[in-house]
Chain A
Amino acid sequence: MLKVIKNRLEQGYRTTKYPKQPITLYERFRGLPEVNRNCSAEIIRRCADACPQAAINSETGQIDLGRCVFCGLCETLSAGEFVRFSQGFEMAAAVRDDLITYGDLPSLADHSQKHFKKLFGRSLQLRLISAGGCNACEADINVLNTPFFDLSRFGIQYVASPRHADGIHVTGPISKNMCQAVLTTYAAVPSPKVVIASGACAISGGPFYGSDEIVGDLNQLLPVDLYIPGCPPHPLTTLHALLNYFK
């Protein structure tokens, strides 16, 4: 008992003040890319050719955050001339095409559907479906339940039964072997319901694009309401997305 109290005192209060106060991530964190629109076509082409995710449009220089895994190769290759990855982690979108960007995403709060805010603004229960990814997305959604993020203080919870859920939160490129389970789980959620695609995998197939063992894009199966890019999305990216879209 004494040890419990001692540890409690040592641990103290650790919950972040975000979103009331801004939070700064270390400078090496690769968040929202900022594309230099005046970059030479030659450099853009070189970066586009080298991009393992085919996420760079070699004509326009736009980056598709739904494909990007934030490896930073284009920044290294162009020595920052074509793109710099900022520490901005607020980069979810309600429209798929908005993720194809120079780094100027529209405000998510303005794009959210008003009736969702009314329905789920005070209480949001989500059923997570892990569907063929690498478990990094799941791990960084799980940490939202740790004391630092303390997700439940916002009235948001991940629940066991789809019957208790207001929507599904899908990670992974939807392996063929999870396709049926995704559809069945979605069907078990009562309407009205939301669909969230989290991570490059659920949005575009991610690192596994082109595999014949995956669906590769949740939108092919279900109507997606909210896209959270990243590989995996930083927990703060997910937190920002949930708060701005639903609150």
Chain B
Amino acid sequence: MAELLPIKNNELILRSDIPDLKFDDFREALLDFTSEAGQAGQIVQFFAYPDQDDLKLLAVLRSDKLYVAGCDAPAKFASLTAESEKFNLFEREMAEQYGLEPEGHPWLKMVRYHANYVGKPDIFGNDYSSAIPGNYPYFKVDGEVVHEVAVGPVHAGIIEPGHFRFQCLGERVLNLEIQHGYQHRGVEKLLQTVPFKRLPILAETIAGDTTIAHTLCQAQALESLIGLEVDAGSSRVRVIALELERIANHIGDLGAMSLDVAFAPPAAYFGRIRGEYLNLSQIVSGNRFGRGLIRPGGVTKVIGSEQRDLLLAKFAELTPEVEHVNDLIFSAPSVLARFENTGTVSHADAVKLGLVGYVGRACGLPYDSRVTFPTEIYGELPANSNHVTDGDVCSRAVVRREEIMHSIALINTLLANPEAVGSYLPVHFELAPRAMVVSLNEGWRGETSHCLLTDATGQILRYKVKDPSFHNWPGLALALRDEGISDFPICNKSFNLSYCGFDL
């Protein structure tokens, strides 16, 4: 612990203050912090970055506090994943991005399929002349009656691309492997190289359904680096926008889950009602996904008395409808029979994988970054707590139902006490040099985090994005163990993870 520097969410840190450890000490500190015997902590960020001619590693960890530490990156190092699953994707990502080799990694496969940033020999033996996935050894179960089902990248619906490999014994899934990369469009590299004016537009399109959470992370991180204060009124608009995003997504997913177990009416109702909440985002921001609203320094639109009245009236109309449709779903025995004991992730596995958001909360991990590391005015607002923690589809559905009602209550409270919003003007960016800031916000899927490092001239040296889906995709794979393959859609929808947020 002594090796790690405690920091605050969105705190401006000089990079010279980040503990610069020897790799062996760094490795030991991380393993100790994340172990059950130690702090039982989780990883927020763990990535490589260039510093002049060298590569360095940086880790941001959380227990009930945030910590940071760094070290020089050895070209090859003893994999941490060999000791703890929590490091799996992070190590694969740094192997892919910077050609660093975690020796002894039990599952060293590409993450997004692209050449590394620094022109080093490719860890995975790919030259990227052939289409994705290149050299990718899918996990395979042998046996006379074992069969394999391959799905994607183009799925049977209006959804994002990804590839799923099921190893099945009859209908029973022995293993599901999820292979990503199809949505990779080079977001982090763009964020590090484009003019500042493009940054908010890129943040808004990291994951379209999480526009507000990602834009909020970016705005807060840049505000710390620029030294901007945000007035309480703007903060309020931001919170309302984030909660509207949460409500719309949870409602859409509950409807879709109902459809996946062949109970059509709630799907039709919630499908439309989700649109009503998107339209409320449009009333606030001019866009159904909240685009163009949050910018470093504040918000571009106020919620004046006209918008406030529109929102309150719509909430008064919709809230009973939401309650009734939820009641319809959760009191139907045919729905509950399919939700309960389906796609279960145990508490122990959830801890090992570091699951976040409603997926984690449904497994009994209460972490909510709105509570533990509150930004904006979340510190003054009541928290939600959930009690159904069986880790199955039903628990994930119940958590979402509760969070919808909690978010509705939050927005009603905020609208009841209007506060003037400061005027917004586009600001000229000058970032603090040689600095680091990490930003965490509880997007609707869970902990969303951006970490920015600046160089000696105040340019962005490294821009690291982490969508909550990065933690939770392995959870979906585990949920399918020993399930019937026909339960995949309902398991998948109960997680509803982002492909583009993962693929960047």
Contacts and interface: CB of A to CB of B under 8 A. Distances in A.
A7 interface: yes
B97 to A, nearest CB: 13
A178 interface: yes
Contacts of A160: 156-157
A194 interface: no
Given A3-B327, A8-B265, A213-B185, A136 B153 contact: no
Given A52-B201, A231-B291, A232-B289, A142 B158 contact: yes
Contacts of A142: 158
A138 B310 CA distance: 27
Contacts of A158: 157-158
Interface in A158-184: 158, 160-161, 172-173, 175-181
A112 to B, nearest CB: 23
A28 B279 CA distance: 11
Contacts of A14: 272
B426 A73 contact: yes
Given A72-B292, A72-B300, A138 B205 contact: no
A30 B286 contact: yes
B289 A178 contact: no
B211 interface: yes
Interface residues of A, number: 70
Given A28-B286, A70-B292, A141 B158 contact: yes
Interface in B146-203: 153-154, 156-161, 181-187, 189-190, 194-195, 197-198, 200-202
A7 B328 contact: yes
A217 B64 CA distance: 46
B187 A208 contact: yes
Nearest to A169: B158
A130 B288 contact: no
Contacts of A26: 279, 282-283, 310
Interface in A48-96: 50-53, 69-73, 76-77, 85
Interface in B420-436: 426
A6 B184 contact: no
A138 B160 contact: yes
A143 B271 contact: yes
A143 B500 contact: no
Interface centre among B161, B286, B289, B331 (most CB of A within 10 A): B286
B282 A231 contact: no
B114 interface: yes
A145 to B, nearest CB: 7
A30 B292 contact: yes
Contacts of A8: 265
B154 A135 contact: no
Nearest to A206: B205
B328 A130 contact: no
Interface string B83-99: 00000000000000000
Given A138-B158, A177-B181, A178-B153, A133 B271 contact: no
A145 B271 contact: yes
Interface string A1-28: 0011011101100100000000001101
Q: Which of A71, A130, A131, A158 has the most CB of B within 10 A?
A: A130
Interface of A: 3-4, 6-8, 10-11, 14, 25-26, 28-30, 50-53, 69-73, 76-77, 85, 128-143, 145-148, 158, 160-161, 172-173, 175-181, 185, 206-208, 210-214, 231-232, 234-235
6 contacts: A28-B283, A30-B292, A71-B291, A130-B159, A133-B183, A206-B205
Given A29-B286, A143-B271, A206-B205, 17 more contacts: A4-B265, A11-B269, A11-B272, A26-B310, A69-B291, A71-B201, A72-B300, A133-B183, A133-B208, A134-B500, A138-B158, A147-B272, A158-B157, A176-B184, A211-B190, A213-B184, A214-B185
Interface pairs A-B: 4 shortest CB-CB? A136-B208, A160-B156, A213-B186, A134-B208
